[in-house]
Structure 1
Amino acid sequence: MTRDPNDPAAIVREQEIAAMSEEVLASLGAGIVAYVREVQAKDLAKYFPEAPPTQDTTVLWALLNADGTPILVADSREAALANAFEHDLEMVSLH
């Protein structure tokens, strides 16, 4: 869908979005939108700094807030998705 270059409302929306700070943009969807990401156990500390260090090759699944803030780690994608469902989080695809 293309934008009408003469639509004043569309122009204002684009200007407002362009003027948003990174912090405001990152906070959009916080507590509402989440995504699941595959995480190697050895990389767990990147998402969960309080996690004990491990060199394990186990695949885990992290549920992350829209801004990337970690919510939980699970041993299956289904468990992470179930937790998101329990907390009424809207899931989005990560590309």
Structure 2
Amino acid sequence: MLMKEATARLTQSELANIGTGEVGYIRKMDWNEVSRCFPEAPDIDPDVDLWALFGADGTPILLTDNRSSTFYRAAEDELKTVSLH
């Protein structure tokens, strides 16, 4: 007897919304990426290490030079965090 494999299908919109409001990701950013993700940010010294917190859907939440601040903000927003390299 052959069994059919069940396949779950998500729309692009459903996939994009997985984790929204529940998961945030933290990653180190290069200064040259800042204007794309945080257009209102001031000019930043290229030698400064920058960290960013994003929502699961890629929405920018916080830009800082202090990695710990990203975790504090995520906790305030009740987000589970993951790091991206």
TM range (shorter): 0.7 to 0.9
Tell me what 2:60 maps to. 70
RMSD of aligned alpha carbons: 2.3
1:91 pairs with one of 69, 81, 84? 81
Q: Give the deviation of 1:37 after TM superposition.
A: 0.7
Return the structure number with greater helix share.
1
How many residues align? The count is: 84
Residues 1:80 and 2:70 are matched in the alignment = yes
Residues 1:56 and 2:56 are matched in the alignment = no
Write the letter of the residue equivalent to 2:64. A
CA contact (8 A) 1:42 1:55 kept: no
Q: Which runs of 5+ in 2 are unaligned?
A: none
Q: Which runs of 5+ in 1 are unaligned?
A: none
Relative to the length of structure 1, the TM-score reads 0.72
Q: Percent of aligned pairs with the same residue?
A: 38
SS at match of 1:91: strand
Return the structure number with greater relative CO, CA threshold 8 A, min gap 6: 2
Residues 57-83 of structure 1 show CA distances to partners (whole Å, capped at 9, x for unaligned) of 311100000011101111111111111
Relative to the length of structure 2, the TM-score reads 0.79
Q: Give the deviation of 1:55 after TM superposition.
A: 5.8
